[in-house]
Amino acid sequence: MPRGSQKASPWYPEMIEVSGVHKTFYLGDSAVHALDNIDLRIEQGDYLSVMGPSGSGKSTLLNMLGLLDRPDDGSYYLNGVDTMSLDENERAQVRREQIGFVFQSYHLIPRLTAQENIELPLMLAGVAARERHAQVGEILDKLGISQRAHHLPNQLSGGERQRVAIGRSIVMKPSLLLADEPTGNLDTRSGHEVTEILEQLNREGITLMIVTHDQNLGDRARRHIRMVDGAISSDHIHDATERQVAAD
């Protein structure tokens, strides 16, 4: 964890504390308020979905929480650290060590096998080869794709590619997993299997945020956030009965 520039959060131990966040993009002379005064608290181990129409700010929020983008104003504490005070190298370190990403289009490296794609973050982190291979082997087994370990992405089905992408996202043991339309390119069966994997990871303690247009997927989460015009229009807890109906 980056040191020196850390500033303790007044709300810790919540995992995520966002207050008064704004983000504006300019298209010619027009200002687009992608995030408009966002306040958000997320506890460790939560499972939430973010929904809303296209252009409502869902992906911008995910990118900001994932330290892929900086807000123009406001505060964002992650695990007690003031991320606004971090330089780019420190932000990259936090992303690498604490945050996993799963995207609709997988973003696998075509020339690397499934095993090598999952292993890549460990290589970049300088983990020894024997330890890398052991960790990746466990993940391949966990995701049910050990038999596809030496296949390239173009030799895998969509569901298998997304499993590889999930494996890559969790190999560094992050505390936060951000998924942007994780089932958007999958058929119904593969989408259900990927959803089950993500939910199992959440049950094991990873905080899970899913951005989706799929109402059925969104309804499975414990907590629902809806965004409109860059603002959070609703934020409520789905009780266990509602979640069971959605899962069935």
Q: Is 80 exceeded by the pLDDT of residue 174?
A: yes
Residue 7, CB-side half-sphere exposure with 13 Å CA sphere? 10
- CATH 3.40.50.300 applies to domain 46-67+92-247: yes
pTM: 0.88
Instruction: Give the model's pLDDT for residue 30.
Output: 84
User: In this prediction, what percent of the chain has a pLDDT beyond 90?
Assistant: 85
Q: Is 70 exceeded by the pLDDT of residue 246?
A: no
Instruction: Give the model's pLDDT for residue 120.
Output: 95
In the structure encoding, which two tokens stand for residue 199, read together? 């939910």
Q: Is 90 exceeded by the pLDDT of residue 5?
A: no
> 109-137 pLDDT, tens per residue?
999 999 999 999 999 999 999 999 999 99
Confidence of residue 6 (pLDDT cuts 50, 70, 90): very low
User: Is 153:177 a contact under the CB 8 Å cutoff?
Assistant: no
